[in-house]
Amino acid sequence: MTMDIGVPIKDLGSYNIDPLRDKILSLPEEAWAGNEFRQLEYEVHAHTQSVVLVFTDGHGWPNIEVSKEVGWDLLAEEAVPLMHKILEDHYPPGGTIVRAMAARLQANGVIKPHNDKHPSFHHGHRIHIPISSNPRVRFMIDGRPQRMQIGSVYEINNQKQHSVMNKGSEGRINFIFDYIPPGNISR
């Protein structure tokens, strides 16, 4: 069963993101350099930096390992209650958050058009919480520009081709997490 949600993007509604937003925006610059797995492993993420809370590389699917990363100590206090509230409101209980991170696309950075290929992306929900942006960010899904408002939460259809361009002078930050509903992975 794939998680093609039938639309390019689904607005999950407004949430109080202020505690998480304030914490992410107050992180020291060195926090963004802590985990370079995505930048090195996936060419499309070469212009991004991440503060990663939990992560799986998906090796051995569906018997995957999800590990706590250095970003856990930095952001879990603010991120975990918000993620759980979003999941409680929209998704079946009992699944697993397999990735969670603050992801920053640098000024003049590009994430080239791509589809997320790993089976974990076909079985999970990819949720975006916009933290900071600028009018010169263009997020495309399936060839069409999508607007994400700060204060709202979105599920993107990562089964469709997607890309991001940041032509602004400041980085664009989204908090992103992947939730796999119960019955899809072995732990």
The pLDDT of residue 47 is 78
Any domain includes 119: yes
Any domain includes 100: yes
pLDDT tens-digit series, residues 164-175: 999 999 999 999
DSSP secondary structure string, 29-88? GGGGGSB-HHHHH-GGGTTEEEEEEEE---TTTTB---EE-THHHHHHHHHHHHHHHHHH
- What mean pLDDT, rounded, does the chain reach? 90
For residue 94, what are its two tokens?
């009992």
Compute and round to an integer the Cα radius of gyration of the chain.
15
User: Nearest CA to 134 among 147, 151, 153, 143?
Assistant: 147
148 vs 158: CA distance, rounded Å: 15
Any domain includes 185: no
Helix (H) or strand (E) holding 21: helix 18-25
Question: How many domains does the chain fold into?
Answer: 1
CATH of the domain at 50: 2.60.120.330
Any domain includes 39: yes
Which structural domain range is residue 99 located in? 9-180
Maximum distance among all Cα pairs of the chain, rounded to whole angstroms: 43
Q: How many CB atoms lie within 10 A of CB 84?
A: 12
Is the pTM value of this prediction over 0.85?
yes
- The rounded average pLDDT for each run of 10 residues, N- to C-terminus, in the chain (187 residues) is 81 98 95 66 69 91 92 97 98 96 94 87 94 96 95 95 95 96 79
The pLDDT of residue 121 is 86
The pLDDT of residue 117 is 82
Any domain includes 151: yes
